[in-house]
């Protein structure tokens, strides 16, 4: 049977043990040497073999595996660096790279775990800020809103953020607040982010408009949410129409905010905004057609077929009140899709738009609409991480573009 003995020896201690009876102090600067592990095992012939490795060797092997796309094996070695060499200078880069590898593999929960360990065990490491950005973005995608908000707040507490980094953290904060259904707080946070973006001047000008568009999208989402929260009451005609007028006004306000999102010229957010405009009108259509019909005037009691005709006519009159808004939306819907097709953007929003286009056109043109129930909208505000700007090593990362895979 092969026996194995695992010994943890520092390189300095190993050299000292091999030296003579006396050693002299080094006269040069102190150098921190990596801890070395030695594995002793017997061969089939009974001979003793020694194999040694240190954190740098494990790390390099992990990096090479990751570069070949063998992420599972790479993460296993990165985790060994963390477990076997907890005091090594490779602890932080191993956790950082393991998180990136897991993120690339779609294992966001595992990525969050590694970056959280990095921030807990090496909070002052050079990778800490980038890891915090990456973790915040992953938490948003996982819709873990409370920790996402906490992480964004911790980013905003830092005093070493560049202007573009601060804008990103502010947009993430707004998104997390919207995900928590704190609509008023999310609206304030989105407006703060947009105000910050607009006031950057000189060297602080933010060239990449992605997160400005993201904040603008959150702002539009909060207005849409307030509009759709207005339910047409089971009441008289005047009361219902007053509610409809308020909801329609908010819809127009949200539409303008979505158009402002498009003006940031980021095709990915334009696709999301275009989809939302169509979805808003479909929601309004359904709210109108499913609203309780107010009773006929007291001086005109109706029963039977006459009552049914009255109900259909009333709903038709309500639909006519929003038809000019529907025609207005058609133009922007089609222009948005044209822009998306020209830019070649691929995202969940684009696919949803293409899937729902025929039904939306029927709805906006006043034609028949599928009876399929509309699924409730998710709480999340921003697009999928696949929509995020390209940042090494993958497009889903939220760290600044200077954040590398460690070698």
Q: What is the pLDDT of residues 187-196, one digit of tens each?
A: 999 999 999 9
Instruction: For the chain, give the percent of residues with pLDDT over 90.
Output: 48
Q: Which of 34-43, 160-169, 238-247 has the highest mean pLDDT?
A: 160-169
Range in 165-179, 255-269, 351-365, 371-385 the model is least confident about = 371-385
Contact 77, 61 (CB under 8 A): yes
d(CA 75, CA 62): 7
Contact 7, 37 (CB under 8 A): yes
> How far separated are the first and last CA of the chain, in Å rounded?
38
Residue 146 pLDDT exceeds 70:
yes
Q: What is the pLDDT of residues 234-250, one digit of tens each?
A: 888 889 889 989 998 99
Helix ranges, 199-291 (H): 210-228, 237-263, 267-289
Range in 80-89, 125-134, 260-269, 295-304 the model is least confident about = 295-304
- pLDDT of res. 43: 61
- pLDDT of res. 375: 44
Contact 364, 183 (CB under 8 A): no
DSSP state letter for 293: P
> Tokens 């009361």 belong to which residue?
239
Residue 59 pLDDT exceeds 80:
yes
Range in 44-48, 100-104, 219-223, 282-286 the model is least confident about = 44-48
> Dihedral, CA atoms, 333, 335, 336, 337, nearest 10 degrees?
90
3-state secondary structure of 9: strand
Residue 37 pLDDT exceeds 50:
yes
Residue 341 pLDDT exceeds 70:
yes
Q: Could you give the count of Cα atoms lying within 13 Å of 208 in the half-sphere of its Cβ?
A: 17
Please report the sign of the dihedral spanned by the C-alpha atoms of residue 346, residue 352, residue 353, residue 357.
positive
Residue 406 pLDDT exceeds 50:
yes
Question: Model-level pTM?
Answer: 0.78
- pLDDT of res. 52: 53
**What values do phi and psi take at 398, rounded to 5?**
-110, 5
Q: Could you give the count of Cα atoms lying within 13 Å of 323 in the half-sphere of its Cβ?
A: 11
Beta bridge partners of residue 36, listed in sequence order = 9, 54
pLDDT band per the 50, 70, 90 thresholds, residue 339: confident
d(CA 53, CA 32): 16
- DSSP count for the chain of H helices, then E strands: 14, 3
**Of 394, 269, 260, whose CA–CA distance to 343 is shortest?**
269
Residue 365 pLDDT exceeds 80:
no
pLDDT band per the 50, 70, 90 thresholds, residue 46: low
> Dihedral, CA atoms, 384, 387, 392, 398, nearest 10 degrees?
-50
> Dihedral, CA atoms, 174, 179, 185, 189, nearest 10 degrees?
0
Contact 405, 75 (CB under 8 A): no
> Dihedral, CA atoms, 82, 87, 88, 92, nearest 10 degrees?
60
> Tokens 């990165």 belong to which residue?
78
Q: How many CB atoms within 10 Å of residue 314?
A: 16
Residue 373 pLDDT exceeds 70:
no
pLDDT band per the 50, 70, 90 thresholds, residue 325: low
């Amino acid at each position: 049977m092969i026996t194995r003995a695992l010994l943890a020896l520092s390189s300095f201690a190993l050299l000292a043990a091999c030296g003579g009876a006396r050693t002299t102090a080094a006269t040069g600067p102190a150098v921190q040497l990596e801890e070395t592990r030695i594995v002793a095992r017997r061969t089939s012939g009974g001979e003793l073999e020694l194999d040694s490795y240190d954190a740098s060797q494990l790390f390099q092997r992990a990096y090479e595996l990751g570069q070949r796309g063998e992420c599972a094996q790479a993460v296993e070695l990165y985790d060994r660096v963390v477990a076997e060499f907890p005091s090594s200078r490779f602890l932080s880069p191993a956790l950082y790279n393991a998180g990136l590898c897991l993120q690339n593999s779609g294992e966001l929960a595992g990525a969050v775990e590694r970056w959280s360990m990095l921030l807990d065990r090496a909070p002052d490491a050079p990778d800490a800020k980038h890891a915090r950005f990456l973790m915040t973005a992953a938490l948003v995608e996982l819709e873990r809103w409370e920790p996402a908000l906490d992480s964004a707040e911790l980013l905003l507490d830092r005093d070493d953020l560049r202007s573009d980094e601060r804008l990103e953290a502010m947009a993430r904060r707004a998104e997390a607040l919207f995900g928590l259904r704190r609509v008023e707080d999310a609206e304030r946070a989105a407006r703060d982010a947009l105000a910050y973006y607009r006031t950057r001047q000189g060297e602080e000008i933010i060239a990449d408009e992605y997160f400005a568009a993201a904040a603008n999208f959150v702002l539009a989402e909060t207005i849409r949410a307030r509009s759709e929260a207005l339910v047409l009451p089971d009441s008289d005609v005047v009361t219902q129409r007053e509610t409809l007028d308020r909801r329609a006004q908010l819809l127009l306000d949200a539409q303008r905010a979505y158009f402002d999102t498009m003006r940031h010229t980021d095709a990915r957010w334009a696709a999301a905004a275009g989809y939302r405009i169509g979805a808003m009108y479909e929601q309004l259509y359904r709210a109108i057609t499913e609203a309780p019909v107010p009773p006929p005037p007291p001086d005109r009691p109706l029963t039977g077929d006459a009552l049914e005709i009255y109900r259909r006519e009333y709903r038709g009159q309500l639909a006519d009140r929003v038809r000019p808004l529907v025609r207005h939306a058609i133009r922007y819907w089609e222009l948005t899709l044209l822009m998306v097709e020209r830019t070649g953007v691929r995202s969940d929003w684009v696919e949803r738009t293409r899937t729902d286009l025929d039904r939306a056109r029927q709805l906006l043109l006043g034609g028949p609409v599928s009876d399929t129930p509309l699924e409730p909208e998710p709480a999340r505000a921003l697009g999928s991480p696949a929509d995020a700007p390209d940042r090494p090593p993958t497009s889903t990362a939220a760290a600044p573009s200077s954040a590398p895979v460690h070698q």
